[in-house]
Amino acid sequence: MVITYDFGHGTGEDRGAEGYRNEEHDCREYGALVIKKLQSLGHTCYDCTPPASPALSLSQSLAYRVNKANSIGSQFHLCFHVNAYETDKAEGCEVEYISDSGKVYADKVCAELSNTLGFRNRGSQLRTGLYVLKYTKMAAILIEPFFCDTKSDCDKYDSEKLATAIVKGITGQTVSSQLQPTVATPVETIAKYSETIPEGVFQVPGTKAYIEQRTDGGVGIHLDRGNYITIGKGFIDLYWNDNSGHGGNKRISS
Ligand SMILES: [Zn+2]
């Protein structure tokens, strides 16, 4: 399947939590291992984490992730995070979701994390207010494997075991680190987007082009779903894609 993902925080005003361990570091460490394992199983994975830039606001950081995942049109989106509360006050793993299809993954990933690493299973959690879960169009989960400000949780941290448990939860398969070098390189499949026109947009008469009000408050001017300009307050994002595997995006701001 085509999977998109983003590593939490790490850019501009969007900062992760800090306790006995550091969220930005750890979610990139275990998350990268998850992606390697998914790739070794033949899944095609696309990183939707924004580039580290001091200029990005929190809302820009979040919108970037959603826009990129939606323009790739993956079947599943994964957000890697680490939880935090107050020092040594909360413990355990939880996985957040918004859709029924997300809940199926959330339940399994949470159970694997708890069984494999011994974290208290806080269970899957319905979260309707989380931006990335709310605005991505595919099944999505946000993983909070442990609390970085709880000593007993941090003592159990093992990036390799954590990644193996998450992949087992998602795919039902176990990929150990020893197996990875013998697995063939995955076949790259091209993420195709639909060239249909979404409902509720202003279509330019006689063309496939359209203008839409976006959920992040901006306006999008589209040639089609893969080629467009979004205008927000103080920035403009450009997205291009030939629908044959080549595309990109660029932010223009002062
Ligand atoms: Zn976080």
Confidence of residue 189 (pLDDT cuts 50, 70, 90): low
Q: Over the stretch 5-46, which tens digit does the pLDDT of each residue have? A: 999 999 999 999 999 999 999 999 999 999 999 999 999 999
Report yes or no: 76 and 105 within 8 Å, Cβ to Cβ: yes
Give the contacts of 71 (CB within 8 A, at least 6 positions apart).
193, 225, 226, 239, 241, 247, 249
CA of 105 relative to ligand 1 center, distance in Å: 19
User: What integer pLDDT is reported at residue 182 of this predicted model?
Assistant: 44
Mean pLDDT of 45-55: 92
Angle of helix 23-40 versus helix 159-171 axis, rounded to 10:
50
Residue-by-residue DSSP string for 186-217: PPP-------SPPTTSEEPTTSS-EEEE-TTS
Q: How far is the CA of 56 from the centre of ligand 1 (A)?
A: 16
As a whole number, mean pLDDT of residues 187-212 equals: 80
Q: Are 93 and 122 in contact (CB under 8 A)?
A: yes
Cα 61 to middle of ligand 1, angstroms = 12
Evaluate whether the domain defined by 2-182 bears CATH number 3.30.565.10: no
Residue 55 has pLDDT above 60, yes or no: yes
The pLDDT value recorded for residue 153 is 97
pLDDT at 53 over 70: yes
Exposed/middle/buried for residue 73 (C-beta within 10 Å: 0-12, 13-18, 19+): middle
| Distance from Cα 116 to the centre of ligand 1, integer Å | 22
pLDDT tens-digit readout, 125-170: 999 999 999 999 999 999 999 999 999 999 999 999 999 999 999 9
In the chain, CATH 3.40.630.40 covers 2-182
Q: Is the pLDDT of residue 97 over 90?
A: yes
**Structure confidence at residue 181 as a pLDDT band (50, 70, 90):** very low
Name the percent of the chain lying above pLDDT 90: 72
Average pLDDT, the chain: 91
Alpha helices in 41-77 (DSSP H): 58-72
Decide if pLDDT at 180 tops 60.
Answer: no
Instruction: Compute the distance from residue 49 Cα to the ligand 1 centre, in Å.
Output: 13
* Confidence category of residue 254, pLDDT binned at 50, 70, 90: confident
Measured CA to CA, the distance from residue 181 to residue 34 in angstroms comes to 15
237 C-alpha to ligand 1 centroid (Å): 24
Cα(108) to centroid(ligand 1), Å: 20
